[in-house]
Chain A
Amino acid sequence: MIRIGIDVGGTFTKAVAVDLGSGEPIARVAVPTTHRAQQGVAAGAIEALQRLLATARFAAADVRLVTFSTTQAVNALLEGDVVPVGILALGPRRERRQTQQRTRLERIELAPGRALRLHYAYVDLEEASEAVLERALQELTAAGAGAIAISAAYAVENPAVEERALAVARRLGVPDTAGHQLTGLYGLEVRTLTAAINASILPRMRETTAWVKAALDQSGIGAPAMVLTGDLSVVPIDQLADLPAPSMLSGPAASVAGALRTNPTVDALFVEVGGTSTNIGVIRNGRPALRYVRIMRHPTCLRSVDVHVAGIGGGSLIRIERNRVVGVGPRSAHIAGLPYVSFAADLGQPSAWETVAPREGDDESYVVIRDAHGRPAALTLTDAANALGLLPSTDYACGDRARARAAFEVVARALGRTADDLAREVLDAACAALEPLARDLLREYELRQPPVIGLGGGAGVIAPLLAERLGLRTAIAPAAEVIAAIGAATTPLSLIEEVHVRSGPELLAAVERVERRLVAFGATRGSVQVVVEPIPERQASRIRALALETHRSAGLRPSIDRETAHELAARALGVPATSVRLQFENPYYWVFTASVRTGIGPFRRERRPIVVIDRHGSVCFHAVDGSCRALSGTETSNTRQPSQGCACAIIGARCLLLDRPVDIDQALASGEGGCLLVGQPARL
């Protein structure tokens, strides 16, 4: 049985087929991303899929799931592939003024000099009958709105009125988005903004989705198609047609997911080196650090992998002015339409060099090499690493060292330098530009001596050198060049929802709602693992649900086994593996503890750190000191846990993280084992 992952990147669209039994990729292809095709990036995705099937390493009938990660939503925004949006605001009559203040958006900038056109209508909630809503929507479309953003005050508590408006809009055939579909958090203005941005790209994304689905049908793959979002949720591709905005930045998310799948880790700095740019981000507690996405200066309620982006990649061109290296990038060989020197098989012995402007308006400082016949090739960062012989032969970026060195010698001679010195200077310039971004992240997340994980085709070029500058260890992920596609293929069906409730029956109802959604997406009932964590600053909760099995397949084997979990626990607790003890396990979680003694004599103190690790290697709970207690299915309602601390309760597949005292005051479901952990989440 096979899972296919397709990552539509900025430069290349890559596809892999992963065998469900071994978890290993059995076929991989890469095609240029088709930004300018009539079908947009869908054309490249379809071509990658067809070429993957053409490798004949597996049959179309064996494919159980196809998952995409795509930057199409971002491209649509950046390239202005948007329609004018009509905002339909709804609020209680007594709060009309506040509702209008927060929903009447003046201007939404999508790219420098490019703004979204907006139209506005307001209806009191008390008067929001179908007839009134229909009239308001017709007025908006008559004014020129191509899509509708519906935003009602308090819709996160009761979305009935937004749903009514959505039904009316669908009857009228207008693409629509409602605020409550994007988040469960309070914040009317940010919901309105996000809904408007989402609505603006709906027509384009609906076309893309339809093309992809049609291609899947034509290729004979009957498996469901899914999309990876920026927060590592995996949702049906139909959702790309209705809620495309969450798929922004799904590329870096897919890369990190792939890296974690192939190399589980607790804390790490990841450096994803593409052809044109590099993304640097953080893995904390076995998961990528996430952050709310900002589009230009507009905050949104969408969460995505927190990455710092630099315009330096493996294919970045070297810039020279007045016989001095002045930088690397942001233009790359791909943008210049030239091959890398190391991979330009047609290029003869390099004999000359010149500086050019790859695009109109660029500086004329980008270095291009020519052979005796005048054939051009781009001198890139990858060529510098090849010239110095830094790349092992197994590295994806490893090319013709002799040709790369010859090219550098040509340039170095003109500058009065040696080829090695010049190549090293170029790599140093690239790392110097990336180092501040990495240090910012290390400082912000207070990571101490984390490994640097290199991802992407150019990982071997930059990641080891950057790690050396930072004084950190480095590891290049296996199959780094297709790691995003592997991540897309292997990320289990999952959902993340944020809800405005913190406790009691409302929270449990929200958990059950998320579980039901995941089952509707294809998860097997009873196989859904749920982690609930508090969002104290919003007085809200975040629910992460993950399916271990799906209807159509037994899913991938769990990412990690008990031994790996043991190692991760030791790393998370900062103690030797020999002093870590397994206290509790069920099919979803392991609970490990250790005993740490500090001080001497009367100041001797003992603490018992605890860590909970799930089957995918994520640290769900970490306390520096605390206690744990098993809960059996025979507990009666009389049994009461004293209110003693912030806690984590594991009950079957559910892991509930609580920032306040917890009582267990009812019997667990029959046969459901559990574990209650009480402790202080962090040493202050």
Chain B
Amino acid sequence: MTSAALGRPRRLGLLLLALLAIAMAALPLSVRADAGAPAVAVRDELAAIRRLMAQSRDAYRAGDRERALRLARQAYLDHFELVEIPLRVADPNFTFAMEVQFAEWRQAIERGAPADEIDRILMEIDSGLVEVERVVGGPGLAAPAFVTLASFSILFREGIEAILVIAALLGYLGVHQPSLRRPLWIGVLLAVPASLATWLLLVVVLRVVPVGRELLEIAMSLLAVALMISISLWLLRRIDTRRWMEYLRAHAWEAIATGKASAVALLGFTAVYREGAETAVLYQSLVLMARRLETWIALGVLLAAVSLVLIGWAVIALGARLPLRAFLSAAVSIVMLLSIAILGHAVWELQMLGYLPVTVVELPALNRLVTELLGLHPTREVLIAQLALALAYSAAWLWAGWAWYRSATVSRAVRVSD
């Protein structure tokens, strides 16, 4: 083994780590820049509002409507009004929406609404308070870090897969039919604007379709969860490929084999567009979930794009080999975590719209923004859905590990990593 061959991936790995380190180092600085002196006061006020909300709810359940109403008024007049001053400057519409919610809460207490309805209103106000914290108090450190990492992982994972497919095709064509490398590149390059167009189409459709925005968000979230499950569970995809290849039309079958330029271009296009379209859906879902953290999503995209350009150049032009198994395992783990979060968010939205029952549970005190981003909403239904998906992922990992172990022991001498 030449030292050059050994050193190249290590250098690339170090380069990527350096990029991530620079990004992480830049995070707290920008957070400090965004967060100002008022942040501390706002957080205190929000904590006080939440405390009063809990006390009011307890009082209402105990049948003391008068005390519950007093506490509700206190929460609004003594604390939210203080938050309103900077909030109105940042987002007057949102401020008005929050005022309406506080008013609804008080009206519900006055008219003696069922406790469930009060609970639902309080959860909506609580979600609003998280948003208030983002708008006025700055996002903190953990939430942007998670969003950046998730954003990086989505593009990085999809991009790596596309690069590997293209590198394999180019390698094969280089040996067997070099003249077909050009149409392959054409297909690959066409797929990039097509992916962007798909994303734009998604944005437009989400704005134009005459369905409630919440419903669309739920649909996007569920679609993203389905995509992520199919990405993570490679076995399912393999089964699909097998079926697709078996029922391929004879002429399409031949075109792939005999290397018609158009077929090869299509191969390059689909290799990249498949990943690109998935990326579009996943990012759209992430944007909907991580509102007001778009800058951090963009940072993740930028980091991933730079990394992919470097890796693509190294793999395709220099023929470097990377510790891809480790890279992809980490990226897939983050994508799995993200899909669990998005599922929690989707179930929560369904509950907010009244399509699912709500059973409130107590969660241990955690950073509100992080729990929000992880989709850890305090209802039993959300937690059950997330737990089920987490268990399914664990089972898939165990199964994949077992299959790998079994194949390694049966194989006589050589094993090829997928």
> Which B residues from 19 to 53 make CB contacts under 8 A with A?
none
Asked if residues B325 and A626 are in contact (CB atoms below 8 Å), the reply is no
Q: Is A651 an interface residue (CB 8 A)?
A: yes
* Known contacts A154-B246, A190-B254, A660-B418, A444 near B1 by CB under 8 Å: no
Asked if residues A658 and B254 are in contact (CB atoms below 8 Å), the reply is no
From A1-9, A30-38, A640-648, give the one contacting chain B: A640-648
Q: Is A664 an interface residue (CB 8 A)?
A: yes
Q: Is A119 an interface residue (CB 8 A)?
A: no
* Known contacts A186-B246, A186-B248, A662 near B171 by CB under 8 Å: no
Q: Which residues of chain B come closer than 8 Å to A244, judged between CB atoms? A: none
Q: Is B323 an interface residue (CB 8 A)?
A: yes
Asked if residues A299 and B254 are in contact (CB atoms below 8 Å), the reply is yes
CB-CB nearest in chain A for B416: A503
Instruction: Point out the residue from A98, A299, A627, A662 that lies within 8 Å of B414, measured CB to CB.
Output: A662
Instruction: Point out the residue from A101, A189, A505, A643 that lies within 8 Å of B410, measured CB to CB.
Output: A505
Q: Is A473 an interface residue (CB 8 A)?
A: no
Q: Is A602 an interface residue (CB 8 A)?
A: no
Q: Which residues of chain A come closer than 8 Å to B418, judged between CB atoms? A: 503, 660
Q: When chains A and B are docked, how far (Å) is the Cα of A98 from the Cα of B253?
A: 16
How many whole Å from B237's CB to the nearest CB in chain A?
11
Asked if residues A298 and B412 are in contact (CB atoms below 8 Å), the reply is no
Q: Which residues of chain B come closer than 8 Å to A298, judged between CB atoms? A: 250
Q: Is A193 an interface residue (CB 8 A)?
A: yes
- Interface flags for B253-267 (1: CB within 8 Å of A; 0: not) read 110111000000001
Q: Is A668 an interface residue (CB 8 A)?
A: yes
Q: When chains A and B are docked, how far (Å) is the Cα of A537 from the Cα of B169?
A: 8
Q: Which residues of chain A come closer than 8 Å to B412, judged between CB atoms? A: 508, 666, 669
Asked if residues A662 and B415 are in contact (CB atoms below 8 Å), the reply is yes
Q: Which residues of chain B come closer than 8 Å to A98, judged between CB atoms? A: 247
Instruction: Point out the residue from A99, A500, A505, A622 that lies within 8 Å of B175, measured CB to CB.
Output: A622
Asked if residues A537 and B171 are in contact (CB atoms below 8 Å), the reply is no
From B2-10, B89-97, B196-204, give the one contacting chain A: B2-10
CB-CB nearest in chain B for A608: B2
Q: Is A497 an interface residue (CB 8 A)?
A: no
Q: Is A376 an interface residue (CB 8 A)?
A: no
Asked if residues B174 and A684 are in contact (CB atoms below 8 Å), the reply is yes
Q: Which residues of chain A come closer than 8 Å to B329, judged between CB atoms? A: none
Q: Which residues of chain A come closer than 8 Å to B172, judged between CB atoms? A: 534, 536-537, 659, 681
Q: Which residues of chain A come closer than 8 Å to B241, judged between CB atoms? A: 539
Q: When chains A and B are docked, how far (Å) is the Cα of A258 from the Cα of B281?
A: 58
CB-CB nearest in chain B for A532: B414
Q: When chains A and B are docked, how far (Å) is the Cα of A397 from the Cα of B178?
A: 37
**Most A CB atoms within 10 A — which of B174, B257, B325?**
B257
Q: Is A551 an interface residue (CB 8 A)?
A: no
Q: When chains A and B are docked, how far (Å) is the Cα of A154 from the Cα of B6?
A: 42
Q: When chains A and B are docked, how far (Å) is the Cα of A678 from the Cα of B181?
A: 23
Q: Is B316 an interface residue (CB 8 A)?
A: yes
Asked if residues A681 and B174 are in contact (CB atoms below 8 Å), the reply is yes
Asked if residues A649 and B413 are in contact (CB atoms below 8 Å), the reply is yes
Q: When chains A and B are docked, how far (Å) is the Cα of A665 from the Cα of B404?
A: 12
CB-CB nearest in chain A for B173: A682
Q: When chains A and B are docked, how far (Å) is the Cα of A678 from the Cα of B8?
A: 14
> Which A residues from 635 to 684 make CB contacts under 8 A with B?
642-646, 649, 651, 656, 658-669, 674, 678-684
How many whole Å from A27's CB to the nearest CB in chain B?
40
CB-CB nearest in chain A for B242: A186
How many whole Å from B168's CB to the nearest CB in chain A?
5
Q: When chains A and B are docked, how far (Å) is the Cα of A658 from the Cα of B416?
A: 7
Q: When chains A and B are docked, how far (Å) is the Cα of A536 from the Cα of B164?
A: 12
Q: When chains A and B are docked, how far (Å) is the Cα of A674 from the Cα of B172?
A: 24
Q: Which residues of chain B come closer than 8 Å to A629, judged between CB atoms? A: 1
* Known contacts A503-B416, A651-B413, A444 near B179 by CB under 8 Å: yes
Q: Which residues of chain A come closer than 8 Å to B321, judged between CB atoms? A: 643-645, 661, 678
* Interface SS, A side: mixed
CB-CB nearest in chain A for B180: A444
Q: When chains A and B are docked, how far (Å) is the Cα of A193 from the Cα of B254?
A: 12
Asked if residues B253 and A187 are in contact (CB atoms below 8 Å), the reply is yes
Q: Is B111 an interface residue (CB 8 A)?
A: no
Interface size on B, residues (CB 8 A): 51
* Known contacts A666-B412, A678-B1, A684-B170, A505 near B258 by CB under 8 Å: no
**Most B CB atoms within 10 A — which of A102, A504, A664, A681?**
A504
Q: Which residues of chain A come closer than 8 Å to B242, judged between CB atoms? A: 154, 186, 500
How many whole Å from A631's CB to the nearest CB in chain B?
9
Q: Which residues of chain A come closer than 8 Å to B178, judged between CB atoms? A: 445-446, 682
CB-CB nearest in chain B for A668: B413
Q: When chains A and B are docked, how far (Å) is the Cα of A645 from the Cα of B407?
A: 20
Q: Is B411 an interface residue (CB 8 A)?
A: yes
Asked if residues B181 and A681 are in contact (CB atoms below 8 Å), the reply is no
Q: Which residues of chain B come closer than 8 Å to A659, judged between CB atoms? A: 168, 171-172
Q: When chains A and B are docked, how far (Å) is the Cα of A642 from the Cα of B325?
A: 11
Asked if residues A502 and B169 are in contact (CB atoms below 8 Å), the reply is no
How many whole Å from A2's CB to the nearest CB in chain B?
38
Asked if residues B413 and A664 are in contact (CB atoms below 8 Å), the reply is yes
Q: Which residues of chain A come closer than 8 Å to B309, judged between CB atoms? A: none
Q: Is A538 an interface residue (CB 8 A)?
A: yes
CB-CB nearest in chain B for A294: B254
Asked if residues B170 and A508 are in contact (CB atoms below 8 Å), the reply is no
Asked if residues A649 and B254 are in contact (CB atoms below 8 Å), the reply is no
**Most B CB atoms within 10 A — which of A301, A661, A663?**
A661
* Known contacts A186-B246, A298-B250, A627-B2, A537 near B177 by CB under 8 Å: no
Asked if residues A660 and B174 are in contact (CB atoms below 8 Å), the reply is no
Q: Which residues of chain B come closer than 8 Å to A190, judged between CB atoms? A: 248, 250, 253-254
Asked if residues A538 and B416 are in contact (CB atoms below 8 Å), the reply is no
CB-CB nearest in chain A for B172: A536
Asked if residues A291 and B258 are in contact (CB atoms below 8 Å), the reply is yes
Asked if residues B247 and A656 are in contact (CB atoms below 8 Å), the reply is no
Asked if residues B417 and A663 are in contact (CB atoms below 8 Å), the reply is yes
**Most B CB atoms within 10 A — which of A193, A299, A664?**
A299
Q: Is A573 an interface residue (CB 8 A)?
A: no
How many whole Å from A593's CB to the nearest CB in chain B?
11
Asked if residues B250 and A193 are in contact (CB atoms below 8 Å), the reply is yes
Q: When chains A and B are docked, how far (Å) is the Cα of A644 from the Cα of B2?
A: 11
Instruction: Point out the residue from B251, B257, B416 that lies within 8 Å of A660, measured CB to CB.
Output: B416
* Known contacts A444-B177, A536-B168, A539-B241, A645 near B325 by CB under 8 Å: no
Asked if residues B249 and A189 are in contact (CB atoms below 8 Å), the reply is yes
- Interface flags for A150-184 (1: CB within 8 Å of B; 0: not) read 00011000000000000000000000000000000
Q: When chains A and B are docked, how far (Å) is the Cα of A619 from the Cα of B267?
A: 28
Asked if residues B247 and A102 are in contact (CB atoms below 8 Å), the reply is yes
Q: Which residues of chain B come closer than 8 Å to A679, judged between CB atoms? A: 319
Q: Which residues of chain B come closer than 8 Å to A651, judged between CB atoms? A: 413-414
Q: Is B211 an interface residue (CB 8 A)?
A: no
Q: When chains A and B are docked, how far (Å) is the Cα of A500 from the Cα of B415?
A: 17
Q: When chains A and B are docked, how far (Å) is the Cα of A666 from the Cα of B317?
A: 32
Q: Is A515 an interface residue (CB 8 A)?
A: no
How many whole Å from B244's CB to the nearest CB in chain A?
9
Q: Is B363 an interface residue (CB 8 A)?
A: no
Q: Is B245 an interface residue (CB 8 A)?
A: yes
Q: Is B330 an interface residue (CB 8 A)?
A: no
Q: Which residues of chain B come closer than 8 Å to A231, judged between CB atoms? A: none
Asked if residues A187 and B258 are in contact (CB atoms below 8 Å), the reply is no
**Most B CB atoms within 10 A — which of A643, A664, A667?**
A643
Asked if residues A299 and B253 are in contact (CB atoms below 8 Å), the reply is yes
How many whole Å from B30's CB to the nearest CB in chain A?
37
30 contacts between A and B (CB under 8 A): A102-B249, A187-B246, A187-B250, A189-B249, A189-B253, A291-B258, A299-B250, A299-B254, A502-B416, A504-B410, A504-B415, A505-B407, A534-B172, A537-B257, A537-B267, A622-B175, A625-B319, A643-B321, A644-B5, A645-B5, A649-B414, A651-B413, A662-B416, A662-B417, A664-B414, A666-B413, A678-B1, A681-B174, A682-B170, A684-B174
Residues of A within 8 A of B (CB): 95, 98-99, 101-102, 153-154, 186-190, 193, 291-292, 294, 298-299, 301, 443-446, 500, 502-505, 508, 534, 536-539, 606, 608, 622, 625-627, 629, 642-646, 649, 651, 656, 658-669, 674, 678-684
